Structure 1
Amino acid sequence: MIVKFDATEQEIADVNAIVGRIVPKICTATGRDLENVLLSTRMDLIATHANGCPMDFARMRKADDFNILHDVVGIKNHLNRKTGRLERMFLPRFAKGAGE
């Protein structure tokens, strides 16, 4: 199976804003390399969205850091990188239809 990374220009802009806001905080707290975490987090969010769990990035972009962090870390921990699908029953708070 090929992992898809399909997203609209607006979704990509929202993801970039989300990642640009939360990843520097993660890297400061963990000492991880900023560039690597920026890229992998962008890819994780788009892969999740394009492979079976559509995300509401506009709503996520407006959320507080705690709730964004929940989804970013949950996706990182539950994303199957071979299929692009979330596993082990994880549902992001900003999945379309969740928590609206």
Structure 2
Amino acid sequence: MKKEELIDIFQIVERANNMGIMFFDRISLKMDLSVAHQEFNLRLKALLNSDDVNFAHDVVGIQNHIDRENKRMGDEFLPRYSSL
């Protein structure tokens, strides 16, 4: 993962924390977003700069649908800011 992508993920985590939509801790959300980015090639800048509704949809959806044991997304969730 590129340095710029990591910075975007950390900024997304900070925004999610400020909005009160983190299910666990910052490290968990960072790992969840990294897995989702690997699987969906997330448009991280667009997600970071999105309105609150779309931002919450993707961040909460990723947290709800990730298979942490196998480090992959499940349940057929497709983030709005996916590049697929």
Provide the TM-score with structure 2 as the length reference: 0.85
Count of equivalent residues: 84
Unaligned runs of 5+ in 1: 1-6
Q: Which residue among 46, 66, 84 is the counterpart of 1:59? A: 46
Query: Does residue 1:82 correspond to 2:69, yes or no?
Result: yes
**SS where residue 27 of structure 2 aligns?**
helix
| Segments of 4+ moved more than 6 angstroms | none
Amino acid at match of 1:10: E
1:35-73 deviations in Å (ceiling 9; x for gaps): x522111110011112x2221101111111221111111
Q: Which residue among 10, 25, 28 is the counterpart of 1:37? A: 25
Deviation at 1:24, TM superposition (A): 2.4
Unaligned runs of 5+ in 2: none
The structure with the larger Rg is 1
**SS where residue 58 of structure 1 aligns?**
helix
Provide the TM-score with structure 1 as the length reference: 0.73
